[in-house]
């Protein structure tokens, strides 16, 4: 009780003091603070056109008083308020001056209460002319431009391209850049973009307004031969060289050299036809990646077959995905825990399975209690395929997987082959091996020599073990398979679909694969039917050629056989033919007229009896001596033949050279093909476009009235006897000048050029 009384006494004292204090100084209530503690704007970004932009409306949500701050080119209909306010108008002044549109601009509106934490920002972006302050740049001056600067880039000549990577030159310096546009060597190009630096080299990004300003044959410098000095070769800016070696489909190997050439080339150069050949490549070295020197090829010379290869893959093509996904190298590092992204689920592997399909691969899977199922790399359940740098990893606990190799289209008839590959099993984190075996399975024609059956004997691992720990290390396997053909598929997979069968301790068959190679088996020849080595014969001359000299000095010989008779000849017009809409070659031809070879040019027409309402179609020899057609139509083709006695075996090399030119109203798209075993086969990678809603395939694109080189190399997949046929076939209705398409044959022309670029066709034994 005393304690309570004491407290009451103190309270009474405090109350008295308070009254006295208030009596001495006038006391008033403290006002409540009204500044907002929380502010939110309805928009975080506003975008305006450069000129005449419409106002935009925002709402401010706040729990008290707020204020808006903005740059002077942005106007708000209300710059302060209390609580939530709707319908605030935001306008942007025109982004221009007396000389026109200014650069794009960007700033912020800050809406806030008292404290920093209450700030809400709106980013305001206004369009403009980003090239208003652009700098003019050339190949030589681009490096001096600061990164991020917009540039007007001009005066660059395309010296080499592989369809993506391009070497540009202004006559003073060379530059490597990525351009996806349809360009060819000799094009002088200009474009706008942003200057950046990649790998220490200047490039232009965000390219716009791309133009081909002119075209002429590129003037290449003298090429340095680096064959003998390849290992000592370094690369800064692109440098023009020549190098000789053996091409295996992905690299050119030089005897005695550690470094190799990793070449890329436009499809029309025919590099893909030289797999297994000795070759001399000329082009630009563009960079070094370890022991691989990148090269964009400008010219290819076939130096003969070194080794016939039916299939090869070292998986270097997976590099874009392995780098993007951070894939590790478990075998090199002997580390089972390296990053291994699943190609079916990792976002960094997008597009990988599409590329596998394009290359002809299949995928096979099996899991506990299941049989093997085959499919495509983009289908199936429980899919387990992983990337390493640059090879593949298969399987995980209770889920197996394997690979189906592409069909070997290079095989003619049947052949005995040797399949070789590198593989090894995976280990656990404690370095305990997945004790497993592999099996090769033959689907279609053929049997495994070691078993006499479709399934090979089990392939066992010889990986080493030290102190009870297994190493991850490559081992090579070679297996002979007899009697395969061009449709045979080979599967490499764990022996059992059910992991528990082969590995009861851990139920996992995980393994790595690299360096697949299929070649003719020892003693089996080149893998075709008939003739020496199974290649279809060798009794023809080493080389047979048909060559035509088309000019005014010779046209009186072939003019009457292709155009018309002497009575209708004139010096200015040459030999003009009659309208002949019937199907076939019309009995018109031009015999090879250069000594030493036999062959013929004809022009084979589809039936135009009802189509040629203008009576335009005719075969002609012009006053220059060049053969030309009026009224060409899709399905028509120029046919070139070379005649010889005997046979050329599988692997024989074909080379055609000529130059085609259309008038503006002539047909734009053509495809070059060779008759290989009775089937017309494109001699280069086929390009595709759409004309009037129809997909068109082509290898040759006539650009208005420009000369268009038609130069191709091709390796025969079948033996050829007595005559080789090569044709250039029209495939679209698009006119060479672009724009409109043909509806009926017209007087638009298509010709083969003469003089120094007159055509020739040759075939050589491998």
Position 525 confidence tier, pLDDT thresholds 50, 70, 90: very low
What is the per-residue pLDDT for 13? 34
Q: In this predicted model, which residue has the larger pLDDT, 306 or 381?
A: 306
What is the per-residue pLDDT for 303? 84
DSSP structure class, residue 605: B
DSSP structure class, residue 764: E
What is the per-residue pLDDT for 32? 60
> Is-above-0.85 flag for pTM?
no
Question: Which residues in 248-291 belong to E strands, given as ranges?
Answer: 252-253, 260-264, 277-289
What is the per-residue pLDDT for 443? 94
Cβ-contact 493, 364 below 8 angstroms = yes
Q: For 390-425, write each residue's pLDDT tens digit.
A: 999 999 888 889 999 999 887 878 888 999 999 999
> In whole angstroms, what separates CA 143 from the centre of its chain?
27
For the residues 657-663, what does the mean pLDDT come to?
A: 95
Question: Which residues in 356-488 belong to E strands, given as ranges?
Answer: 362-367, 373-375, 385-387, 392-394, 399-404, 415-425, 437-443, 447-448, 459-460, 465-466, 469-470, 475-484
Q: Which of 204-218, 507-521, 561-575, 719-733 has the lowest mean pLDDT?
A: 561-575
Q: For 32-77, write each residue's pLDDT tens digit.
A: 678 888 899 999 999 999 999 999 999 999 999 999 999 999 999 9
HSE, CB side, 13 Å, CA atoms: give it for residue 422. 14
The per-residue DSSP string of 89-133 comes to EEEE---EETTEE---EEEEEEEE-SSGGG-EEEEEEE---TTTT
Structure tokens at 334: 């002997």
Helix (H) or strand (E) holding 383: none
Q: Closest by alpha carbon to 213, among 268, 266, 170?
A: 170
Burial class (CB in 10 A: 0-12, 13-18, 19+), 28: exposed
What is the per-residue pLDDT for 117? 61
Give the whole-angstrom CA distance, residue 151 versus residue 507: 60
Structure tokens at 243: 């190098």
Query: What value does the CA radius of gyration of the chain take, rounded to a whole number of Å?
Result: 37
Structure tokens at 189: 């190009």
Q: Say how many C-beta atoms besides its own lie within 10 A of residue 195's C-beta.
A: 22
Dihedral sign, Cα of residue 534, residue 540, residue 541, residue 545: negative
Give the whole-angstrom CA distance, residue 243 versus residue 232: 13
For the residues 471-479, what does the mean pLDDT come to?
A: 90
Structure tokens at 256: 């005695």
> In whole angstroms, what separates CA 152 from the centre of its chain?
27
What residues does 655 pair with on adjacent strands? 713, 762
What is the per-residue pLDDT for 17? 35
For the residues 504-515, what does the mean pLDDT come to?
A: 84
Dihedral sign, Cα of residue 593, residue 595, residue 598, residue 599: negative
Dihedral sign, Cα of residue 446, residue 448, residue 453, residue 456: negative
Q: For 238-266, write each residue's pLDDT tens digit.
A: 999 999 999 988 889 998 888 999 999 98
Give the whole-angstrom CA distance, residue 176 versus residue 172: 14
How far separated are the first and last CA of the chain, in Å rounded?
Answer: 122
CB under 8 Å to 54, separation ≥6 — which residues? none
């Amino acid at each position: 009780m005393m304690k309570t009384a004491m407290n009451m006494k103190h309270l009474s004292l405090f109350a008295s003091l308070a009254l006295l204090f208030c009596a001495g100084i006038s006391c008033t209530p403290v006002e409540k603070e009204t500044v907002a503690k929380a502010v939110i704007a309805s928009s975080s970004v506003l975008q305006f056109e450069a000129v005449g932009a419409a106002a935009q409306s925002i709402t401010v949500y706040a729990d008290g008083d707020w204020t808006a701050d903005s740059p002077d080119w942005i106007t708000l209909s209300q710059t302060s308020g209390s609580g939530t306010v709707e319908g605030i108008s935001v306008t942007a002044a025109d982004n221009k001056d007396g000389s026109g549109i200014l650069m794009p601009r960007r700033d912020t509106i800050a809406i806030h209460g008292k404290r920093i934490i209450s700030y809400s920002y709106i980013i305001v972006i206004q369009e403009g002319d980003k090239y208003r302050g652009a700098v003019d740049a050339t190949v030589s001056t681009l490096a001096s431009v600061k990164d991020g600067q917009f540039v007007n880039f001009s005066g660059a000549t395309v010296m080499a391209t592989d369809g993506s990577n391009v070497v540009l030159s202004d006559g003073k310096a060379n530059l490597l850049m990525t351009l996806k546009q349809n360009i060819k060597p000799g094009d002088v190009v200009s474009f706008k973009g942003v200057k950046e630096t990649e790998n220490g080299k200047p490039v232009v990004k965000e390219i716009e307004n791309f133009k081909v300003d002119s075209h002429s044959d590129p003037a290449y410098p003298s090429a340095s031969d680096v064959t003998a000095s390849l290992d000592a070769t370094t690369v800064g800016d692109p440098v023009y060289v020549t190098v000789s070696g053996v091409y295996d489909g992905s690299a050119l190997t030089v005897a005695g050299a550690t470094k190799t050439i990793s070449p890329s080339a436009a499809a029309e150069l025919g590099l893909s036809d030289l797999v297994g050949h000795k070759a001399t490549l000329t082009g630009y070295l563009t960079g070094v990646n370890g022991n691989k020197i990148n090269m964009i090829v400008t010219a290819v010379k076939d130096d003969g077959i070194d080794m016939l290869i039916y299939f090869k893959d070292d998986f270097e093509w997976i590099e874009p995905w392995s780098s993007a996904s951070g894939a590790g190298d478990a075998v090199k590092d002997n580390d089972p825990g390296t990053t291994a992204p699943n190609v079916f689920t990792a976002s960094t592997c997008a597009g990988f399975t599409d590329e596998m399909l394009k290359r002809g691969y299949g995928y096979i899977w099996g899991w506990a209690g299941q049989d093997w199922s085959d499919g495509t790399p983009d289908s199936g359940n429980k899919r387990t395929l992983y990337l390493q740098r640059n090879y593949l990893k298969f399987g995980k606990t209770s889920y197996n997987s394997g690979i189906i190799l592409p069909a070997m289209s290079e095989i003619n008839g049947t052949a005995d082959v040797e399949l070789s590959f590198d593989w090894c099993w995976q280990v656990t984190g404690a370095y305990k091996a997945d004790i497993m075996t592999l099996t090769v399975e033959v689907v279609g024609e053929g049997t495994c020599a070691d078993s006499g059956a479709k399934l090979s004997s089990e392939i066992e691992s010889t990986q080493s073990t030290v102190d009870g720990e297994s190493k991850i290390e490559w081992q090579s396997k070679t297996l002979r398979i007899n009697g395969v053909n061009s449709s045979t598929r080979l599967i490499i997979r764990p022996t059992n679909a059910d992991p528990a069968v082969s590995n009861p301790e851990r139920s996992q068959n995980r393994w790595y694969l690299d360096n697949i190679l299929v070649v003719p088996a020892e003693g089996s020849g080149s893998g075709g039917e008939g003739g020496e080595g199974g290649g279809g014969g060798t009794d023809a001359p080493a080389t047979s050629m048909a060559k035509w000299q088309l000019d005014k000095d010779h046209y009186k010989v072939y003019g009457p056989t292709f155009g018309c008779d002497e009575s209708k000849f004139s010096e200015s017009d040459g030999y003009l033919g009659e309208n002949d809409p019937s199907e076939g070659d019309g009995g018109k031809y031009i015999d090879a007229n250069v000594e030493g070879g036999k062959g013929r040019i004809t022009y084979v027409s589809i039936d135009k009896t009802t189509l040629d309402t203008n009576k335009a179609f005719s075969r002609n020899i012009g006053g220059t001596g060049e053969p030309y057609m009026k009224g060409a139509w899709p399905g028509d083709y120029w046919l070139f033949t070379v005649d010889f006695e005997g046979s050329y075996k599988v692997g024989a090399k074909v080379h055609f050279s000529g130059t085609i030119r259309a008038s503006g109203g002539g047909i734009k798209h053509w495809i070059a093909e060779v008759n290989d075993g009775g089937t017309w086969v494109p001699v280069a990678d086929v390009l595709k476009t759409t004309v009037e809603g129809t997909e068109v395939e082509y290898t040759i694109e006539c650009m208005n009235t420009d000369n268009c080189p038609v130069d191709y190399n091709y390796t025969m997949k079948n033996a050829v006897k007595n005559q080789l046929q090569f044709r250039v076939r029209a495939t679209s209705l698009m006119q060479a000048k672009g724009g409109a398409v043909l509806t009926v044959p017209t007087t638009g022309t298509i010709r083969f050029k003469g003089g120094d670029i007159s055509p020739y066709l040759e075939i050589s034994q491998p």
